[in-house]
Chain A
Amino acid sequence: MGKKDANVRMSLQTLRVLESFLENPTEQLSGADVHQRCRIASGTLYPILLRLESAGWFVSQWESIDPSSAGRPRRRLYRLTSTGLRRASEVFASFNRGVLA
C-alpha cells in the first residue's frame, strides 16, 4: 500500500504507537490492542496506523479466523516491517542522542 520507506510526521502520538510495536517487533496488533496500550483515541489512532502503513513502516492483514465460528468479526492486524523497525529505531535513537533536546 503506497510508497515504501517514506517519511512520517512524527508526533507524540505516533511515537507512542511506534513504542507499543517496538516492545515486541514481531507481534501483530489490532487497532483495539494499540488503543489499550497507548490510550490514544480512535480519531487519532487510525490515521496514524494508515500513515505508517502508507509509508511502508507497517504491513497489515486480516486476522485468519472464521467469523461465524469465532462469533466475532475478523480484525485488521498490523506488524512492523523491517524498514519500519529500522526507521523507528533511528527515531528513538535520535532521541537518546539528544537531537531534539
Chain B
Amino acid sequence: MSQRSVTHWLIHHAARHAPESLAERLEEEWLADLEVRTSGVSRLRFAIGCCWATQMIAWEHQPSRAAVASTATAGRGVIAYADQNFGFISLRSSTFFLVASLHIVLIYGFMTALSHTHKSVVPDPLQNRDLPRSQPDRIPPPLPGPTIKNPPIEVPKPPIDIPYEQDLESGVATAILQEPINPLPPGLPTPHVAKRIDGGPGAGFPDTADFYPSHSIRLGEQGVSTVRVCVDAKGRLTSDPTTLKGSGSARLDEGALMLARAGSGHYRAATEDGQPVSSCYPLGIRFQLKN
C-alpha cells in the first residue's frame, strides 16, 4: 500500500465517521487540501489530523451539545465566550494538562516511595550487649602417632694403649708419659687470644620510655625487641640498625629501631685488649609498662 493510498484511506475513514450531513463535503474538501501538500510526512500528518478533526466535529455536533449551544446566552466580549465554553483552554489542551498532571502525580509517588524505602534501611544505633561466655571447645586428645624406636647407637671404644705402672701394694696405676702432648707442630709460635669485651649502651644513651609508642601504651603492649647495631670505636653507628628478633608488635619494633638510631654517639664501643674497636652486636631493648 503506497503512502498516497494510505493518506486517502485515512481521510476517507475520517470522513466516514463525521456527521452524515458533513461526511461527503469534508472528504472532498480534505482531499483537495491534501493535494497542496507535497511532502509525504506532511500529507500523512494532515490525514491523521483529519481523523482527530472528525472526532472533534462529531463531538460538537452531538444533539446534547447543540441544545446547550442553543440555550447559551449571547454575551459581549471575550469573557462571555470564555464563560460559555471552556475559556481559552480547548479540549485538547485540557487533555494535555490532565495527562501531564497524571505524570507528575506518578513521578511524585515513585519518588516518595523510593525515599521511604531508603529511610527504612537506615540501621538502628549500635547497642552493646554482654554475651555469656561461651564454653571453650573441648580439644580432642591428639591421635597416637607412630612409635619410632631409636636404634641403639654403638660407639666403638677407641683403643687405649697407655703404658702404666701398677703399685702392687696400693693397687694404684700410674700412667707413664713417654713424651709431652703438643698438638701444634714444632716451630710455630703460640697464637695470641685477644681479650674482647662487647659494647652496649653508654653514657647519655636515650631513655627507652621516650620511644615507647603511645599507641602501644594505650593497648598495653610490652616486649623485647632485639636490634643489630654496628658501632665504630667512638660509639657512633656505622650502618642503620636492623631488627634481629621482633617483639611481636610492629610498633614496638619500630620504636626500638628509632631508639637505636637516636643513641648513635652514645654507644659504648667494644674493646679488644682494652682498645675500642668497631663491631656489630645485638642490642636487646625492653619495652615494659610501669604499674
Contacts and interface: CB of A to CB of B under 8 A. Distances in A.
Interface of A: 3, 5-13, 30-32, 35, 41-47, 50-51, 63, 72-76, 90-91, 94-95, 99-100
Nearest to B85: A9
Interface in B22-46: 22, 25-26, 28-33, 35-37, 45-46
A100 B78 contact: yes
State which size class the interface on B falls in: 35 or more
A42 B81 contact: no
Contacts of B51: 43
7 closest A-B pairs by CB = A43-B52, A42-B49, A43-B49, A9-B85, A76-B29, A32-B36, A47-B56
B289 interface: no
A99 B77 contact: yes
B76 A90 contact: yes
Contacts, number: 109
B81 A50 contact: no
B30 to A, nearest CB: 8
B33 A75 contact: yes
A100 B83 CA distance: 13
B193 interface: no
Query: For chain B, what secondary structure do more than half of its interface residues adopt (helix, strand, loop), or is it mixed?
Result: helix
Contact of A31 (B33, B45, B48, B90): B33
A10 B81 CA distance: 6
A95 B78 contact: yes
Given A42-B50, A43-B48, A47-B53, A9 B86 contact: yes
Interface in B63-80: 69-70, 72, 74-80
30 contacts: A6-B74, A9-B84, A9-B85, A10-B78, A31-B29, A32-B36, A35-B33, A42-B30, A42-B45, A42-B52, A43-B49, A43-B51, A43-B56, A44-B53, A44-B90, A45-B49, A46-B29, A46-B30, A46-B57, A47-B53, A47-B56, A50-B60, A73-B28, A73-B32, A75-B32, A75-B33, A91-B81, A99-B77, A99-B78, A99-B79
A41 B45 contact: yes
Contacts of B69: 3, 6
Contact of A7 (B31, B81, B90): B81
B28, B53, B80, B93 — which one has the most chain A CB atoms within 10 A of its CB?
B53
